[in-house]
Each structure stands twice: as structure tokens, then as C-alpha cells.
Amino acid sequence: MKTKFNLYISLTLLVVLGTSCSQDFLEEKKNYGSYDDTFFQTQERVQAYVDNQYYDFYNAYKSPVSTVVGLFTDTNSRLTEELGGTQDFINPNKTLLTAGEAGNYYGLKLGSGVNNTAYNRIRECNILLEDIDVKGANLDKTFRDQAKGQMYYMRAMQYFDLMRTYGGVPIVTTVQTAASDDPTIQLPRAKVSEVVAQIVTDLDMAASLLPGKWIDASYGRFTKGAALAQKARVLLTYASPLFNKNWDGSNERWQAALDAGLAAETRLTQDGYGLFGSSIKDWEAMFLKDNVFCPEAITVQLCGTGTTGTAINNSWEKAIRLVSLGGSAGGTPAPKEMIDLFPLADGSRPTAANGYNDFTFFLNRDPRFYRTFSFSGAKWGNKETPNAVIWAYRWVDASNKAGFSDANTAISSPAFVRKMSNTAASKETNFQYSGTDIFEYRYAELLLNIAECYAALGQTNNTLAYLGRIRNRVGIPSANNYGIGTLASKYAAIEAVLYERRIELAYEGKRFWDVQRWMLYSNESLPGIAGGTVSKLGLSPINGTKRTGNYLQYKNTAASSTTDPLTAARASIVVDFDSPNFQTQLATLATFYNANFTRTELITAMDNFGGAPVNIKFNPNYYISGLNTAVLTQNPWLLQTVGWNDNFGGAGTFNYQE
């Protein structure tokens, strides 16, 4: 997302050494309104200001499954099929309805210090936008324009995440003086359409001011093409059923989103962006092009390997590695629902009729499957042991005491997420200091956004053309439209795009937003809110399902719980995804699985509450959060969201579908 995190941190360290410029900058950041007329008159200080904004917005972005500007937690990803473990919003034993139970992302009351919350980040953008051309008129115009472009971009992204969380929110584009008795700043919640209009205006401004590409030393900063691509993403969200009750009857919003997507594609192509490579090896390798330009990366969080607190480390590598591979206790187990999701090698759906066997699940799969997951018998190396093989299975002895292979005691699935893993990463630091960059927005997602707009407009041939580009790049054969077949209706086309997004963008923090904007948990909706999209798209509701885990277990009774019964038998087994004998190795592994393993239920279900298995239950008021008690108390003129109760127990009336 930016290249200058180290600049900001270095400035912080220089304060200790008494550097006056940095000292002044940080002192003035402590209190609102304390920027004097000289602050914006030096390029060094303005650059530090801009870099600090990047830091405040993206410092917490340390994992690809994390979302929401400023927070960047994996909570949303854990509400989907991608990751197991019951969360409050999908727990059938909890019902969240009151203001006290609503989210607190909106922010804290403005005080004398700088809190890194949503509206404070917006305020910081507003300060520069208001002052730089007046107080910094002596600065180079191109520098000023680029600084403003980055602020417009970040303000837009902050409002986008506020919109996705709360629907309509107050729009503040000037620097306000905090006061409890000033009615001019007691702004109401804007309509969603008004918030979208403001976001689009900001992104258009950003696109007009930002360069198509930066010099190498500034790689990672926002670009003209990135602003246009984000505009397409925003308009796609606005066209989707969550905010568009006429999504199936009017083409206006879909056409606007399509036009924005095509404009972004044209601009990005002109600036040297596009799908990276032409093979599945390239697809995997693109995630590892650290701190250098990658044409696939529209926006990217640049990470470093420093160990002194001056670098932003990617926490993903450590999280997904098993104990035997030098990582965390259980890695990141893949729910069965994700294992069974990916297409077969010819692009067709993995059904029994198409020859899919969910026990030997690794046979004949979409090439992306092998770069997204790993499994017992597969090579998953690291810097110190490049030929390491993962083994994660269980056995029991005659007394029913269990043993686990290679000390991997916390296994809960026969497959584990390995996407975006760097096999050159160091085990010696427990993978803690990974420098692998995080792609926030990929060119492939832009193509999928365009495909979805074509689908919603009923232009199924264009939908197939864009989906074909995604599949062709990873080596899926072109026959039968890359395995997709024919699309009999726009609903089938939309479903095909949503399916492809689940594969191509798996574990990149995108699935929850797709589920949310299409309202896919159930057909149920709130009074006054249009719903029912699950049935219209021919899907099954997510509610009532679960993320399933299983043990891969030795099928015979072992002699001892402390002695691995398969040590010798497995010694010659290895599946190397890059080997020319890959398919033969898979077949050998399947024979080994059939001879030695069975699949058994977990002792404690992957989705459980107090140890008891539960199914997902996401209530319709959760799609858009209510305002919490603190916000309503401090801003009593704000209406509560429909589906949530206000501070006095009254039903919310703010309708985000207008």
C-alpha cells in the first residue's frame, strides 16, 4: 500500500535524537488545529504528513484475510466458508440487536489528542486538502497535486469502509472545530447514494492528480489507475442487492459500474498493468514479488523483514505454517467446504457425476487448488529445509489413545491453507518477520468485477470472455468455455462469477464483501429491505451450514500412541507441485491414502459453542451495523439503522436501501 512506512518510523526515531523538524511535526500532530502557517511550506514536512496518513490507514494491514481500513482484522473472513471457528455474528446462540452490541468502528469522541479512528483519519485528509494550496503555495505544484491525490484517495477509501459497515454516514469534507453546541456541525446520516457520490467525486479527483506510475523508489503509492479501479469497486458494491433494491429491474447502476471498470482496465493496461504471467507457476510467484513492481498489483501493502519494530511484517506466513514446518500450532486448516469447492482440472464443478472423490480430494483439480492448499504428502519447504514434506495425520492405539504425526497435534483438517506462502522464508525466525507483500486489489479482481457487471446486464458472452481470461492464465483448457459451459441466464452468469471469485480470490479478504453485498446468508430480509437473492441465483443459503473439519486418521489400530505406524511407509512419498511427474506423484499418494487412511470426525467440531457443534446463523440486521451506544449518546440527532434498537430501545429507522 505504500513504500514509506520506514520514513515515518525513522522520523519517529529521530525525535529521540532531537531532530527539530520531526519534533515539530509530531508535536503539532498531537492537537487538532495547531498547524500554523508555516507547516505546509516545506516539502519535507508535507511528505512526512502524507506518509503518516498511509501509516495510520494501513499499519495494521498485516494479513491478506484482514479487512476494514484502520482496523484490518480477520473477523469478516471468519464469517465465511474460508475459515472455521464460531464468531458472534454467526453464532445461533446469540442475537445482537441493541446499540450496546453494535460495532464501534465509527470512532471515538473528538478529544484533544489524535485517535486513529475513522473520522479522525478523514479529518487529517481534510486538513491537508484545505491548507496545502494556500499555506503551501510556494511548493512545487506537481508535488502538491500528488499529495492531494493521495488524500482524496484515502478519504474515499475511509468513506467506502464506513459505507460498507454502516450504510449512510455523515459526510464531512471540511475541518470542523469540535463543539457540543454548534448545530452547523451536527450533520445527519447521509443517504447511501450521497456517500457514494462523495466517494466517486474523491476518486475522480484522485485520478486527475495522481500519476499512472511512480518512480521505483515510490512504488506502492496510489496511482491514477488504482483510483479508477477503486471507483469501479465502489460502484459495483452500490449496484449490488444490499444497497440496490432494484438490482434486478434497473440497469443504471450496473452500467455505471461497468463503464468505470472498463475505464480502469484501459488506463491500467496503458500504464503497464495486467494479469501476471501465463502459467500457474507465475500465478503463485506473483505474490512473492516483494517491494518491486508487479503488474497484477493495483494496490499493494509493502512489507519488510526487519526485526526492530521499524518494518511492517506480514503475519500470514507464521499463521499458516504447521508446527512441523516451523510455524504456529495448527496452521490454518481448510474447512471441507473449501476443499470441495475448487473446480476439477478441466474447469468443471467437483461433483460425483464429474468423477470427484472427496477422500482423495487432491486428484484432478484446478491448478489453483495446489497453490492454495497443502496436504499430507505434499512438499512445503522453507529456506532451511527446502524439501520438507507436510504430514498431518492421527492414529489411535488399542486403548484409544491418540498420536499425531510430526508433532502436529492441533490438526483439524486433511488440508491446510498455503496460498501466498514463501518457500524461501526462514524457519529460524519462526516466520515471524515475513516481508511478503499483500495485494489489496489485483488486476484479476478488476476483471471479475467487469465480468459481474456484464452478467447482471445479461451480456453472458462478455461474462464468459472475462472469466475465460482468468482461467486461461492458470492453464485450464479452453474446451466448453474453460469448463464453465453455457450460461442460460443472467442469474447463472452472476452465480458463475461469484463462484470464480471464491476460487481466484480465496483467502484475500474478499469473500465476506461478496456474501454481504449479495445477501447470501439467507433469503430472509428486514422489513423495508428487499432480499431473496439466494434463491434467485440458484444458491443454497449459508445459514444452516457449517465449516467442517476432519481428522486424517490411520485406518488400523496402532501398536503405540507414541510410535508413528507410517514412518517407513511414507518415506518415499512426496508430491512436488513443480515436478514434471506431478500427476504420477498424486496417483501414488492416492494409493497411499486409500491403503492407510480414513477420515474421522473431530472430537470438538470446527464450529462449536461451548464445545457443542453449531451451524451458521447470520441475522439479516447484521449486514449493516447499527450505531453503538457511545455514538448515539454523543450524536443524539443521528438515526439508528433499521434492524437495530437505539439507546432507548426504539426500533431503528435509517434505511440503507433508501
Q: pLDDT of 340-356, one tens digit each?
A: 999 999 999 999 999 99
Higher pLDDT, 657 or 306: 657
Place of cell 457443534: 613
Is the predicted pLDDT of residue 309 greater than 70, yes or no? no
CA distance 154 to 379: 41
CA distance 458 to 449: 14
Share of the chain above pLDDT 70, in %: 93
Domain ranges of the chain: 5-238
pLDDT at 311: 79
What nine digits make up the cell of 338?
473449501
Cα-based distances in Å from 457 to 266, 364, 460, 466, 539: 20, 34, 8, 14, 19
Q: What is the CATH number of domain 5-238?
A: 1.25.40.390
Sign, CA dihedral 641-644-648-651, equals positive
Q: What are phi and psi of 412, to 5 degrees?
A: -145, 20
Q: pLDDT of 176-224, one tens digit each?
A: 887 777 888 889 999 999 999 999 999 999 999 999 999 999 999 999 9
DSSP 406: G
Sign, CA dihedral 507-512-513-515, equals positive
Q: What angle do CA 339, 341, 346 make, to 5 degrees?
A: 110
Identify which of 2, 599, 44, 639 has the alpha carbon closest to the alpha carbon of residue 304: 2
Q: How confident is the model at residue 12 (pLDDT cuts 50, 70, 90)?
A: very low
What nine digits make up the cell of 515?
456474501
Rg (CA), the chain: 26
Cα-based distances in Å from 548 to 74, 83, 333: 19, 10, 10
Q: How confident is the model at residue 1 (pLDDT cuts 50, 70, 90)?
A: low
**How many whole angstroms from its chain centre is CA 644?**
26
Residues 6+ apart with CB under 8 A from 92: 609, 614, 615, 616, 617
| Mean per-residue pLDDT of the chain | 92
Q: Decide: helix, strand or coil at residue 233.
A: helix
Q: What are phi and psi of 247, to 5 degrees?
A: -60, -30
CA distance 24 to 93: 52
pLDDT at 487: 98
